[in-house]
Structures are given as C-alpha cells and as structure tokens.
Structure 1
C-alpha cells in the first residue's frame, strides 16, 4: 500500500473534520427544540424530634418533563416563625436534577427539642438554571410540634367546627370523587388549591401495619389491582395505579373507552404527570404522606375497623397524629362505634364526631319534643340529609326519616355540636343545606360547592 504525503493527509483530516462539524450543525438545526420544563417545589412537613435529634425537613423539587441536561437549583432558607440556630440550621446550597430525571430533594436539618409550642415555619427561596420555569420562587416548610401530650380531653367552649351563621365548610369527600381520582395526593392538592376547607380521607391498615388512604375494603373499584387492603403490603399497594378507573365528572366507571381514563398510567410511569406532580401523587398514599403534604389543611380522618384484630390500629393512628401535632385541626370519625371509642380512649385530645350507633340514638331521641343532650366528648354530628343514603339492610323495612331539618340543626347547635352533612352532590341540595344552617357539606363535587360559596348569597342559583 502506498504512503499518503503528510500534507495530503492533513488536508484530508481537515476536510473530514469540517464536514463532520457541518453535518452536526445541520442535524442540530433540524432537531426540534427541547420544550421547557415547569419546576415545582413541594414542602413536606416533619416532626421536630426530641432534644439531640436532627430530623430532616425535605422539599421535593419536581419537573413536569425531563431535560436532556442537568438542572441546577440554588436555594437558601430564612426564618418565618421558626428560629435559625434553635429550631433549624440555616442552609444555603445547590442541588441537581440529573439529565433525564424528574425530581430531587432539598434537605434542611431540624433541631429537636422538648418544648411545647405551635408548629413553626421557615421559608425556602430557590431559583433554577437551564430550560426551566419555576411556579414560584419561595415556599414555606413546616416543623410540626410533637411534644404536646394527648392524655386530656379537649375543651370546646367555642366549638371551632361550628360556623355560627356563616357559610358551611366545603368538605372534599375523598378529595372529590367526581372531580378528581379519589383519595390521591393529586386530588387533595387540587381541591385545596381550589379552596376546599376540609380534606376527608378514609384510612385502612395494610398487611404490614402501614396506614393507607383508601375508602373501600378492597382495591378493585379504583385501581388496576385486586384484593383486600388488609391482605396486601404497602409495597404491593404502591405498585398500583390509584387513578386507573377515574373519569372526570363520572367517578370510577369501568365501561368507558380507553381515552376517557385521562390519568391512567401516570402512577406507573406510562404517562407524564401534570405540572407540579409526580407519579407517586397518583398512587395509594399513606396517612403520613398526607400529613407531610398538608400540614395546614383541616383534615377529616375516617377510622375503619381493626381488620387484622391486633388491636393496634387506633393506637397507631393516634401516635401518628400526635407526632405531627395534629389535634384541634383534625376530626376523627367512624361508622364503627368500637373503632371510635377505642380511638377516643387513646387520643382524648383529638376532636371527634359522634359515632354511628350513639348518634342514631341521639337523633331518634330528639324527634318530636325531644332535645339533644350535651355530648362534651365530641364536636360534631356527621349525618346524611335523610335515611335514603343508608344501606337498606341496616334499616327496618320501609323505614324513612328526614334527618337534617331546621329543628335538628337548632337542637344540635344548642348542644354545641356542629352539623356536617354527607354526601351532597347536587346544586339544589347544597343550597337547601345552606338555608338550613348546617356547618359543613361533604361532597364528591367540591369544585361545584366552591363555586356556589364564592357567589354572593343573594345571587346563588342552580339555573345554569
């Protein structure tokens, strides 16, 4: 083989390099631009811990779509009601969401103590470099008080759950069964942003003793799985798609075209989440995740039976609520008197509604000229407008009773009890409950109720 002169080889190399560079430039110009990502930072509350402990307050940084290059986030903390150096360590730093990834965490060290005090807050200011637009530049993190004992009954001289003639509270039943995929963090976040006052959630215990938020005894109606919650582990439940059967405006029908299930596949990574959310927001959440995510929202927790028979369900619930300092901004409710009474025994400081059997006797006793006696251990009646919403198998044949009447509301208020009515889903019934003066309306349609509440009282109607 002949030898190419050095000058000729240099010319060839230069030509090859130039053509490669030009080809690369041509390819780049033909390639569509990468769409920008939306960055959201979500604070997750943390209990402050005991003296000497240093828990971590975490902020989840989420992109709605990944970027081909790393996204750098700079952050800095500042005091709000918490004190730097006493309650937390002031922190300045940077974190990275790696190319192709969707999230990372910003972490701030918290300083534990034994002082009884309200929840404390700090601000996290942040900015990002790269092809990113942030939804905000500052968020507030919460250090929950876990030092207050819960061994004494609450006092409700001024019952905080009564509205005293004002508009009723908007209770988002399971996060809004018709508006959003029920009992998901996505649903609760959306209704909170829309203005709902109370997040209502049902809690079961898993096979491995974790407390999860789900209404049904089994996962069949709402997810892509089957089986009873008590027979499944948390890991098995987390693998399911909690929005699998949800159709906006319809709930969870199982007979719709595939295109109607607009959130199906987000939980499993087969479809991107909406801006500000991640796949985990469409999975079955734990109660602790909800307490971390919504430290300042009023919450209604419905207790379920202790299905595994170990007797630790109510104690576990009480301990978790105390750990996050949740007592007078929580109502614990139950249709199961045993569960309600067991919980009351271990968490007397937490607000509770009257359980089913006791409440039924009080309602029946107040008929005619009867009155509702004071029930100082509870703060509310949670009742249907009438018995048509109760399973007929639980009633005598042909029995019907209008529960929520003007007299009933007056009697309950005279006993210092709030009247919280479930489940009201039509505009007409919402307006009727408002006229009766109830304190809260539980609804599968919190968006509709919020629209009514945001309309001046004299202009509210259902004509549209």
Structure 2
C-alpha cells in the first residue's frame, strides 16, 4: 500500500528486500565469528546461521574500484598499513584479511595465513547471487564503482544502499532499490517524533538502520517504531549482541536486528517467532576456538 505524503517526496511501496521481518542481519558477516567483511564470513552467515541480510561496508581504491572493508585504513583487519584509497586493487588483494581476527582477545589468530582476502563488491554479488546485501558507502568516492557492480550483476532488487552521511549516496537519489537513512534523515525524524508531528514528515528512505541510543540518549522506543511503520519505514537496530537486548527489541516490533553474533540471534528468533533453527557449522569444521565461542 502506498502512503500519501503531505510534504511530497517519492512514493514508495514496501520493497521486497525488506520482506520476512523480523530479519537476521549479519553485521559485516558476523564479525565476532569470522574475519569481518570477507566472503568467508558472508558464506558462514548465510549457510550456517541462515542470515536474511548481509551488512557490509565499501571503500574506494586508488584505481577506481571499491573493496569490501569498513575502515578507511587497512591496519585494523589486515597485515597491511595505510589508507585503502591509497592502494590499488592488486595491492589490496595481496593483504591477509584474516590476519587480525582473534576470538580470545589476542591469544590466538586462527585465520592468519589461511588465504582470506579482501573482495570487491562485484565479486561478493557474483559469489552470492541470492543474498540480500546492505551496502554502506563509507566514502563517497566509491559511489561510481558501487553502481557499476550493481548494474553488472543486475542486483538492484537485492542491494540496499546506506550511508551515514547522505552525501556519500548522493549519486543514488533516483535509485530504484531500497535505501536507508543517514544521520540527516534520522535527526529530521527525531525532531518530528519529539514534537509529535511525524504524520507531516515523509522520510525519503525505506529503512532506519540505527542504534537504540545516540549521544547517551534513548532514541528508539515502541512509539518511534509505530510512527516509522506508519510512514512505511522499516526499523533495523544495530549492533546488538546480547540475547536479552535482542528479545526486548524484538518485542518492541523492530523489523531487523543487526548483530556480530548471528548464532545467538538465530536462537532468539527461533524462541521468539518459531523460526527454524539454522544448521550451524558441520562437525568437521568446528575448531576448538569456535566451539568455545559458540558456547559463550
């Protein structure tokens, strides 16, 4: 159903991308269970934990590509140093993207030297042709490469475009696929929420992907969710790894939970909604560190 907007803006039916709520959204593929933002993590999230959406980040390379990585530098997650945008794609491919992953606070690094590499967005979309992917553009210079990857793989229907700063998605104003709010749209909705005038505001996005609190202030509430739903906007809450918090937020009516622990979220969704339990990892792939982690 289309909701008329007294303030104009594009009229949007709910995107199929957002269907099946409440959604299990694997943050960077489940960054506490595998090297974040890698195909290795994405495949595990989809196959082991039956993630509905993958939340990923992209940064531009020096030679006009975009790679899937969160930070503007490679230092935190790889064995390299320096800014992503100062490296060519070939240079970035040579890095060990599993080098820094540790499940136990730095005692062990089980993915070092095991061939985990950075991927381009196009490679991810081609490797996972049925996956719904939430792409956060961290640097506006990546926009052209993001659009090329989506067009080349025919993925508009399954890629949501996100950016904390809407300038980083300015090239997607007429994007036919789903989009989520930046800080500017969230602040605008907050102002209307506080003044109880959300009926006069039409958010130009399909989803609010947001934290429960901002600046130490509680933002999300059941009323916020109801008002967003009345404007045809879904609520995806990040980043939630505690099971009690997951249960509470689901009881409020959020449409998706973004988590670094998709294993925990899968259990909670099973309890809360009757959703089938995922298969989990095959017995021959459960290393001791992973077994300990999954028990935590």
Q: State the TM bucket, normalised to the shorter chain.
A: 0.7 to 0.9
Match of 2:89 in 1: 234
2:155 aligned to which of 305, 319, 326: 326
Q: How does 1:74-153 map to 2 (within 5 A)?
A: none
Q: Secondary structure at the match of 2:217?
A: coil
Instruction: Indicate yes or no: 2:59 matched with 1:243.
Output: no
1:295 aligned to which of 111, 129, 140: 129
- Residues 170 and 196, structure 1, Cα contact 8 Å, conserved in 2: yes
How much does 1:341 deviate? 2.4
C-alpha distance in structure 2 between counterparts of 1:154 and 1:303, whole Å: 22
RMSD of the alignment, in Å?
A: 2.3
C-alpha distance in structure 1 between counterparts of 2:111 and 2:32, whole Å: 14
Q: Which has the larger radius of gyration?
A: 1
Match of 2:4 in 1: none
Match of 1:181 in 2: 35
Match of 2:193 in 1: 366
Q: What's the CA shift string for 1:259-300, capped at 9, x where partnerless?
A: x11111112xxxxxxxxxxxxxx1011111101111111100
Q: What TM-score, normalized to structure 2?
A: 0.83
Listed as ranges, the gaps of 5+ residues in structure 1 are 1-152, 268-281, 308-312, 389-399, 459-463
Aligned length: 267
**Could you say which structure has the greater relative contact order, defined with CA pairs below 8 angstroms and 6 or more residues apart?**
2
- Residues 202 and 213, structure 1, Cα contact 8 Å, conserved in 2: yes
- Residues 135 and 159, structure 2, Cα contact 8 Å, conserved in 1: yes
Structure 1 runs (4+) deviating above 4 angstroms are none
- Residues 315 and 343, structure 1, Cα contact 8 Å, conserved in 2: no
Q: Which has the higher helix share?
A: 2
Residues 247/154 of structure 1: CA separation in 2 closer, same or farther (3 Å cut): farther
How much does 1:320 deviate? 1.9
1:284 aligned to which of 96, 115, 118: 118
How much does 1:369 deviate? 2.4
How much does 1:423 deviate? 0.8
How much does 1:376 deviate? 6.3
Listed as ranges, the gaps of 5+ residues in structure 2 are 1-8, 275-295
Q: What TM-score, normalized to structure 1?
A: 0.54
- Residues 161 and 439, structure 1, Cα contact 8 Å, conserved in 2: no
Residues 359/247 of structure 1: CA separation in 2 closer, same or farther (3 Å cut): same
Q: What's the CA shift string for 1:303-343, capped at 9, x where partnerless?
A: 12235xxxxx3233122202211112211000012112232
- Residues 207 and 233, structure 1, Cα contact 8 Å, conserved in 2: yes
